[in-house]
């Protein structure tokens, strides 16, 4: 009978110790909305909050349950966003704290009328391990290109409420 060399024994032993890859959820794909550009940026983390930008749209107007709304500056830029709380405690998430940075350097807050008309959330409790998908609407001058979405997570045990945001580049 032939003996195995020490190196081969070590390789065989270590192969059995390799951790298995984590199991992943298999989320079904969904169709992109009319006029929306799907984006495939990797998630970005700010504090205990993970942000994933899914889509970007430019709209001349929006329809609500009572009327049509036109932007005051030129067009509405709609950003489809997923936020997930990676922390062990809940945090208050404020959609009004998110910003759109334009190519000319302007920093814009979400348009309150558009957010209200489209029934998008304002400030809400983002529980531990909770994930939420919604839209942000920004009123942007007609010829100005959106350059980045500046995201800010909610205050947690490890992040102050006034922590700086993280920029996600937009096409």
| Residue 25: per-residue pLDDT | 85
| Residue 15: per-residue pLDDT | 58
φ, ψ dihedrals at 82, nearest 5°: -115, 130
Element (H, E) at 78: strand 74-85
Q: Which tokens is 15 given?
A: 């192969």
- Report the 10 Å Cβ neighbour count for 92: 13
Domains and CATH numbers, the chain: 35-169 (2.60.40.1240)
Most distant CA atoms of the chain, gap in Å: 86
Q: pLDDT band at 156, cuts 50/70/90?
A: low
Q: Which tokens is 94 given?
A: 């404020």
Phi-psi sector, 129: left (phi>0), alpha (psi -120 to 50), beta: left
Residue 155 clears pLDDT 80, i.e. is over it: no
The average pLDDT across 25-39 equals 92
The average pLDDT across 66-82 equals 93
The average pLDDT across 139-152 equals 95
| Residue 65: per-residue pLDDT | 84
Alpha-carbon distance of 72 to 49, in angstroms, equals: 32
Q: Kindly state the percentage of the chain with pLDDT values over 70.
A: 84
| Residue 27: per-residue pLDDT | 83
Alpha-carbon distance of 114 to 117, in angstroms, equals: 5
Residue 122 clears pLDDT 80, i.e. is over it: yes
* Residues forming a β-bridge with 124: 93
| Residue 5: per-residue pLDDT | 65
| Residue 55: per-residue pLDDT | 97
| Residue 47: per-residue pLDDT | 87
| Residue 109 DSSP one-character state | -
Which residues have CB under 8 Å from 61's CB, separation 6+? 68, 69, 70, 71, 76
Alpha-carbon distance of 102 to 147, in angstroms, equals: 5
pTM confidence score: 0.83
Average pLDDT, the chain: 88
CA nearest to 79, candidates 165, 171, 163, 149: 149
Residue 4 clears pLDDT 80, i.e. is over it: no
Q: Kindly state the percentage of the chain with pLDDT values over 90.
A: 65
């Amino acid at each position: 009978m032939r003996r195995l060399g020490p190196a081969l024994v070590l390789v065989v032993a270590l192969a059995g110790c390799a951790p298995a890859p984590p199991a992943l959820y298999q989320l079904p794909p969904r169709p992109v909305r009319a006029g929306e550009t799907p984006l495939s940026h990797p998630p970005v983390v700010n504090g205990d909050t993970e942000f994933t930008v899914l889509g970007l749209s430019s709209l001349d107007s929006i329809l609500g349950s009572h009327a049509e709304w036109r932007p005051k500056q030129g067009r509405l830029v709609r950003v489809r966003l997923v936020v997930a709380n990676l922390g062990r405690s809940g945090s208050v998430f404020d959609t009004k704290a998110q910003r759109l940075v334009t190519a000319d350097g302007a920093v814009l807050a979400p348009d309150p009328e558009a957010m209200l008309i489209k029934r998008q959330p304002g400030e809400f409790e983002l529980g531990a391990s909770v994930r939420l998908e919604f839209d942000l609407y920004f009123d942007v001058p007609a010829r100005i290109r959106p350059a980045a979405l500046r995201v800010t997570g909610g205050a947690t045990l490890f992040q102050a409420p006034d922590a700086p945001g993280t920029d996600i580049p937009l096409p």
